[in-house]
Structure 1
């Protein structure tokens, strides 16, 4: 998804809705009761709830916007905040589905030269990600790109001249002996800057900005983490945290204290190690301590790694009679590569939509998922068999240029530790024309090894923060690759807007 264009459209949409709803509502407007005993503001909110429940998301957004304007005009800040958050959630539910049928057909025809009408119809009718709102089927904004991911032969035609796969595979295909003794070898030091910059005109004029700013953390493969030159130290309430399950620093910044643009930055420095676990001896894997807190945490259901009866049944089918946890996890890894091709997914909608569907379940049921979703499904399959597993998040520098947000997976083996794999990177070998033996070697490498071109921010999806994200806020909860921003006084979705205002620059440093 093109975050910046989507965010810009969202902000414009929200502002237009507010203007259309009439932001000049007076207290009298909200106090006059209709025959149902509800004020116009309460009635608008109730209509929004009903419309959302009936899958009329655009109508729901309009009703919530009207309620927000009326409550705001009446000075009822609590109800105004509730209506505003409901408006944002309705918008997030629908915003990643911009195409009606004809627009989706046109997108496919433009992106995939030579595609037939029959192929377009089959994709839209049977495979494409879609949502129904106001009884109209709408399609995901990367409906054409996902067609290519599902058809590697077409993807290879388009990527052969564009993707420097030799650079991507520089670790997997390396013939050099790793430096040091495993499993953590070939250290690479990175240094750079994280920066959030929100323009003055996009900031609320009052209230407090609560910001959870992501940072690197210490792990077995990421060490010597240092964070310096944090901006606005007077407004740091908690942190910085660079150990534990997730890295971040928490700010509370009064809007009135910001002069000009809001700029938060941090200088970061860390050493990342290549991880080599492909020499695991299954016979040497120890027994799990099933009462250990970490074992219990990483073998249970979570918000986006969900264990269902269907997932358990499928996992048992995948591994057959195999009971060794390492060999079972390897079978699951290859099964996902072969069965669940990579595709972009509507994360914002999945995170906001009610009733909630876990990302792992979404991929299991629809076949669609990106790096995070694939890692979550891998973890769900493993957990359902009693194998501790998690989806690790942060950034990758596997390709030259700006670090890109990424997720991969780990499973735990007694006697060895957390063993990494990266289903998504492995699957990229199917997108390019390369010799089959090199394709296989690349996939085998990422089955139990990992390159050092990584920045780890969190050890698992849905990792809780302290202080916790507000329960009722419209905020992206799955990952913390970008700052989380909460403002009770902003009249547009500043959390979503802020995603487009954050970036990380990194360079390798001689050690």
Structure 2
């Protein structure tokens, strides 16, 4: 994960070329009338901030909550100070991914999209760009230029090829995409790769609170059908572990509770990990697909509407339109996969804002209504469409090493077919073929393979988004709930949003080798 504001996106080298640091285009001064009002007490400021949040004056709300937090702290009211700080974090997270006003957005597009015209900029900003209203002003998403290029992927060809080699990308999907290519196993799992490495979190001492408890949920590899032989050793500070290490069930993690006053210097947590990852190649005969046991608890779990995989009337209607008269669940899932990769170009997604803002918008619904979604959002939308038809589906992931030896944050989807099991598909990686100069035949083979096969260059942390852990996140805590690709942190004191910043101080090093 490059930044705490890019939690799910598949990390490509081409992103560096597209999203060059330079014109950051700040959103400008607060709109007229949005500055904090004079208040005689911290309680007054807090109430004003709450009202500002309801009125979509997020910048103003953040300033008011910050001032309330400061006054509560000065008066020694720790409980109210914590509430003010948390609400300040929440207000800031809502708009943090939207740094541009219109002028800044125009400048960013002009700088990063070669040859773009004024008319094309106006059309993109008016009709397609991701944006939010705050303090009477329209703010634009930080990935506005990259999203334009993804939507117009012909512009990527030539540039993307300098960073991504199609032969390397497709080394499993095309070269190894047949049963004869499997070794070290049998269909659907073979070609095992053993990964070993180290996870490390190191937060500088100056960012840590002096008092209170730090509650940390630390990601670990998870035992799945395609990821086995999990090893977790040399965990730091075992005396502060309250649960785990957990490597079975729905999510891999270990949870800590560390008194801040017991930390000497930087906070450093490490874990040495290992696992065997298998390539997945499914050969499905639609005529042999069995009926679901609709009373099975797992069937019920993965066909219900959820926080970010939402089944709405509109999504049910769209799913029915996609599959038409087809009744076979495997063929239905294939049709949904093709619909997504043919209809919705990859784009970055404001996960932090979506995870924070109320009322909550599910990620699947966000893609359906805006047309924007990255790997996680596309997979959640796929899962919602499948679930609406009674096909169990989930959004699985953690990291991928397909494009680089360095793990890149990534999610994909799985759908369950009775008689075969959980079948993977990766609509986002499939779309990369459209960015690269290769033959139409290769593109089609690549996309077809990723509808029911998956490479072993993966690191799975969780089987589905919004996975439950023990202890669970407290109600009202400001913590990223969608995925655990970096440590989740809740602090009882201190001015830094450590949960937001933890991704900047977390690293995963993995090496592929031969299992001993």
TM-score class, shorter-chain normalisation, is: over 0.9
Report the equivalent of 1:154: 155
Aligned partner of 1:267 in structure 2 is: 272
Is 2:349 the partner of 1:349? no
Match of 1:196 in 2: 201
* 8 Å CA contact retained: 1:6, 1:95: no
Partner of 1:471: 475
| 1:313-462 → structure 2 map (5 Å cutoff) | 313-462=317-466
Q: Is 1:287 equivalent to 2:291 in the alignment?
A: yes
Q: Distance in 2 between matches of 1:47 and 1:112?
A: 41
Instruction: Classify the secondary structure of the residue corresponding to 2:119.
Output: helix
Mapped to 2, the partners of 1:291 and 1:324 lie a distance apart of 19
Shift of 1:470: 1.4
CA gap 1:6/1:294 in 2 versus in 1, 3 angstroms: closer
Q: Is the 8 A contact 2:466 2:482 kept in 1?
A: yes
CA distance in 2, matches of 1:246, 1:123: 39
User: With CA pairs under 8 Å and 6+ residues apart, which has the higher RCO, 1 or 2?
Assistant: 2
Are 2:512 and 1:508 equivalent residues in the alignment?
Answer: yes
User: How far apart, in 1, do the equivalents of 2:145 and 2:227 lie?
Assistant: 37
Q: Secondary structure at the match of 1:304?
A: coil
Which runs of 5 or more structure 2 residues have no equivalent in the other structure? 8-25, 27-37
Shift of 1:67: 1.2
Q: 2:216 aligns with which of 198, 211, 219?
A: 211
Deviation at residue 250 of structure 1 after TM alignment:
0.6
Aligned equivalents of 2:208, 2:88: Cα separation in 1: 19
Of 189, 192, 195, the residue aligned with 1:187 is: 192
Give the C-alpha shift of residue 157 in structure 1: 3.5
Look up the match of 2:492. 488
1:237 matched to which residue of 2?
A: 242
Residues 1:171 and 1:419: Cα distance change in structure 2 (over 3 Å): same
Matched, 1:3 2:8: no
CA deviation after TM superposition for structure 1 residue 161, in Å: 2.1
Deviation at 1:6, TM superposition (A): 9.2
Q: What is the RMSD of the two structures over their aligned residues, measured on CA atoms?
A: 1.6
TM-score (norm 1): 0.92
Unaligned 5+ segments in structure 1 are: 8-12, 14-33
CA distance in 1, matches of 2:77, 2:101: 38
Q: TM (normalized to structure 2)?
A: 0.91
Shift in Å, 1:484? 0.4
2:122 match: 121
Change (3 A) 1:330 1:4: closer
Q: Secondary structure at the match of 1:438?
A: helix
Partner of 1:47: 48
Secondary structure, counterpart of 1:218 in structure 2: coil
> Cα 1:393–1:6, aligned 2, differ >3 Å: closer, same or farther?
closer
Kindly tell me the number of residue pairs found equivalent between the two proteins. Answer: 482
Separation in structure 1 between the aligned mates of residue 457 and residue 510 of structure 2, nearest angstrom? 11
Question: How much has 1:2 moved relative to structure 2?
Answer: 5.2
Give the distance between the partners of 2:450 and 2:467, measured in 1 at CA: 24
Which residue does the alignment assign to 2:87? Answer: 86
In structure 2, what is the Cα distance between the partners aligned to 1:50 and 1:385? 41
